[in-house]
Structure 1
Amino acid sequence: MSAPLVVNTKDGACWTRRTVTAGGIALYAPEAVKTCPEFVMATLEDLAAHGIQGSADVLPMPVGSAPVSEAALDVAVDGLAQYLRVRLALESAKRGRREARAELHTAQAHGRTFLEQRNAHANELLELRPQLESARALGRRVIHAEQRRAELEAVIETHRQDDAARIDRLTSSLREATEQIARLESDLGGATARVAELEAARKQTTAHVEHLAKTLIARTEDLIAAEARVAGLEAAQGKALRRTVSWRLEVQENDCWWDCGQSADSYPAAQDLLARERAEKPGIGFRLVCRTTTDTLPGEASSYPPALPWAKQLDADDLEGFLADLVDAASGDDDLTTLAAVEDAIGRWRVIAEAQHAHNTAPGPDAEAGEPS
């Protein structure tokens, strides 16, 4: 159905079809307006919105020229202005709607693109989630390893400092030990020389002691033989004497020698006694002392006066010391020197005996004159 050529609206305006768009839409303009732009023209739908009173497919034939009043022209101009305003607003609204639709389409396209990208990213994240978990676990292990490495480095540093201090102490100790070894080697050299000297001195002393022992044994045997000869001579002169030779064992205590109460009648037996005591009591000094006792046989009288009557005035300790000095003095060579030593020992102990006797017989401070104490 084609669009009518004339349309009358309820407001009394008459609209005529001026042109048709490429889309087949008829555009109308007021009849009184001779020239009108297309963008302000109205469509049939726009006129229907104002109310169509009538329409015609042909233009009416004018009967004659009737004058148009000024009021009608004003009404037509006002209607046209109102129409133009409405048309402009409508065109602006249409343009805004088109722009809004375009923006909506653009926004929808962008939204779809964003959703597609988001979905793609979500799928990628879903695919990467195992790798992410592995990476997180690896990160935790790396962090733990770093912490452990820091702890180990701290421990290593502590041990390094301790080892350095220990190495310094060991180096100092090694240096001191080396110096001490050098000193000990020096002292060892001196000690070796001293040991050699002492060994030589020991050998010399041992030889001297052996010589003295042999000499003592020989002198003892000579003394026994001499005493036997003296006994024989005295027996030949009518004297009956008995001489007894014994070896007494003495022990050392506080730089003094004391009789142990053990004796032997012969020198070999005395040596055995000495060796046995030294083995049983190591670290204690022992020695052998020769004792000679001369007395008269019972029932016989000596024709000689006592040679040493003052010796009876000595106490037991002094008598023992006198006899020991006498034996030592008589153990020399058979010459005048030995005789002089014997005489010197006898004279020294005689003075001691007489002084002791004088002290023992001296009167006391409370005794009367002429009375001994």
Structure 2
Amino acid sequence: MTIDLGFAWLTLLGGREVSLIDVPGHECFIKNMLAGVGGINAVLLVIAADEAVMPQTREHLTTIDLLAIHHEVVVLSKVDLVNADWLELVREEVREALTGSTLASAPIVPVSAHTGAGLAELLLTLDRLLDTLPARDQVRGVPRLAIDRSFTITGFGTVVTGTLRDSVLSVGQEVELLPPGLRVRIRGLQSHQRPIGQGKPGMRVAVNLAGVHHRDIRRGHVLTLPGALTPTTLFDARVRVIDDVSPIAHHAALDLFIGSSETPCRLTLLDTDELTARTEGWIQIRLTVPVVAAVGDRFILRTPSPSRTVAGGVVIDPHPPRHRRFRSEVIAVLTLRDQGSSEERLCQTMGRWPAPAVHREFSCCRYH
């Protein structure tokens, strides 16, 4: 049974390589699963044909939906263990489970690792899926590597791994480990066990670091440029509550999963006394341990006990002031930052807090 993250890569028929992050499927290891899905842009959902949809399958689907991952292939494995009628029933059950999610139109491919049936079709389907994915190798900010493993290799020293986002990392570069704030140097880079001089956004990379022991690094730390990012213990967010959960009250204690980190938090509900199932709301998330967050980052919220996913959301402002509740001007600013045009968001950022709630055209004019 898979209980922690696993990593591999696959060369498709057209010669393209894809990085694979194997996450635990069992419901007891959902927390480990969440540490691996923060950097992915497509999902290969494997469902055993002889077992069909399980409770953890539904929780994985909920997580995928909350993280707004829109590209998926569903694999029905072990088809050699079932007959055609049973396989068709499982296919219908899977399609029903996908209804209403971001993955409702995902292709379903039956396969058997034992006989090899369906594997060629799966490779073709993955190739077609890659053609639909947005490019991730464009530089659009500072590099961020959410670390999911840290270990040491004899003769090399400390190595960390993760999925690189937003910009490049190069051999010889000085970088910073957050939240600790440790300055270190990149001795070497690898991707798919091959040395590289530069890691690009979207790549799985292993980074050999000088100046730090692997025991000082943990899953959830972030590697970035010195001084480029500041960890936070407070951020604004828009949150969506899933179906069939109890209301989330103001000041609720939950577990936050963002990037590869897991951190206890408390919620300040800004526009309501409680968030009920299938509703959205504006919140401030307060943490005792700092995390690295950026505008647009998605996260998951789970109850500590019993451990269960209850909501997910997106970061609107990673470094806000502390808000008072039920303030219309605060909600107006959050709405503008979330839904406004690029010009409106720029004008609001230049003016910072507060921004006029109604006549947006005048709020922009005064900064020209």
TM-score grouping bracket, smaller chain normalisation: under 0.3
Q: Considering fraction of residues, name the structure with more helix.
A: 1
TM-score (norm 1): 0.21
Larger RCO, structures 1/2 (Cα 8 Å, 6+ apart): 2
Q: Larger Cα Rg: Structure 1 or Structure 2?
A: 1
Bigger share in strand: 2
